[in-house]
């Protein structure tokens, strides 16, 4: 499948990973809905400082919460957005979008429909090593590979992360480790609760 990286040579690539909006039954808050505006402002501040715009490419997934916030902000700046999903959209929204209620499904659909966005679904695992990883871990590594393929010096990694291990495999912490191992340029993490490190 052709994606934006095949037809567009970006000045920079903004790779993103971040927490979803909390599920209603989450016992300990991590990214509660009332923090959405603050997190949006923090992400926008990083993009302002880096002067992200139409000559750049955004590589992210599309879960409710920080993924979609980032995608919306980048599209609003005229950037190209590659939305990487671990499953077909109908399955993905069931697991990673619809539980949050509010208007996240509409926002997901709007991002996908934007002419500046391209949705790409994770291919089937081809090797034994790939089959040992969860789809979420594979998607993280796939996004990182896609970003680095444009030139490692172009990649800036932005994340919304509380600094803790994820609830399951392939979370933001996994992506942070993968970027560090690859020697990527990482911006200081944005804490979803506003804490500083």
Instruction: Tell me the per-residue pLDDT of 123-158, one tens digit each, with 9 for 90 and over.
Output: 876 665 667 788 999 999 999 999 999 999 999 999
In this prediction, residue 165 carries a pLDDT of 85
**Residue 1 pLDDT > 60, yes or no?**
no
The answer to whether position 195 is within a domain reads no
Helix (H/G/I), strand (E/B), else coil: 61? coil
Domain encompassing residue 156: 4-186
Count of beta carbons in the 10 Å neighbourhood of residue 123: 10
Residue 160 resides in a domain:
yes
Residue 32 covered by a domain: yes
**Does 194 reside within a domain?**
no
In a domain, 196, yes or no: no
pLDDT by residue (tens digit) across 72-112? 999 999 999 999 999 999 999 999 999 998 899 999 999 99
Give me the percent of the chain exceeding a pLDDT of 90: 82
Per-residue confidence (pLDDT) for residue 133, from 0 to 100: 84
pLDDT of residue 7: 61
Strand partners, 83: 60, 119
Q: Quick one: how many helices (H) and strands (E) in the chain?
A: 8, 6
What domain count does the chain have?
Answer: 1
169 found inside a domain: yes
Q: Is the pLDDT of residue 184 over 90?
A: no
CATH number for position 103? 3.40.50
Closest by CA to 17, choosing from 74, 68, 55, is 68
d(CA 151, CA 159): 20
- pTM of the model as a whole: 0.93
Question: What average pLDDT does this structure show over 7-23?
Answer: 93
In a domain, 192, yes or no: no
In 3D space, the residue among 133, 81, 137, 135 whose CA is nearest the CA of residue 108 turns out to be 81
- 197 assigned to some structural domain: no
């Amino acid at each position: 499948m052709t994606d934006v990286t095949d037809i567009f040579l970006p000045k920079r690539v903004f790779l993103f990973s971040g927490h979803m909006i909390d599920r209603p039954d989450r016992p300990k808050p991590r990214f509660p809905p009332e923090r959405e505006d603050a997190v949006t402002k923090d992400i926008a501040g990083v993009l302002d400082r880096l002067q992200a715009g139409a000559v750049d490419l955004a590589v992210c997934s599309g879960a409710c919460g920080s993924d979609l916030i980032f995608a919306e902000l980048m599209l609003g700046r005229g950037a190209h957005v590659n939305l990487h999903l671990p499953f077909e959209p109908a399955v993905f929204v069931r697991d990673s979008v619809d539980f949050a209620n509010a208007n996240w499904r509409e926002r997901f659909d709007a991002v996908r429909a934007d002419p500046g966005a391209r949705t790409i679904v994770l291919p089937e695992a081809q090797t034994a090593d790939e089959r040992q990883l969860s789809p979420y871990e594979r998607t993280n590594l796939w996004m990182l590979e896609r970003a680095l393929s444009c030139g490692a010096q172009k990649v800036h990694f932005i994340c919304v992360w509380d600094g803790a291990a994820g609830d399951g495999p392939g979370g933001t912490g996994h992506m942070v480790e993968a970027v560090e191992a690859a020697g990527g340029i990482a911006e200081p993490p944005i804490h979803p609760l506003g804490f500083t490190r």
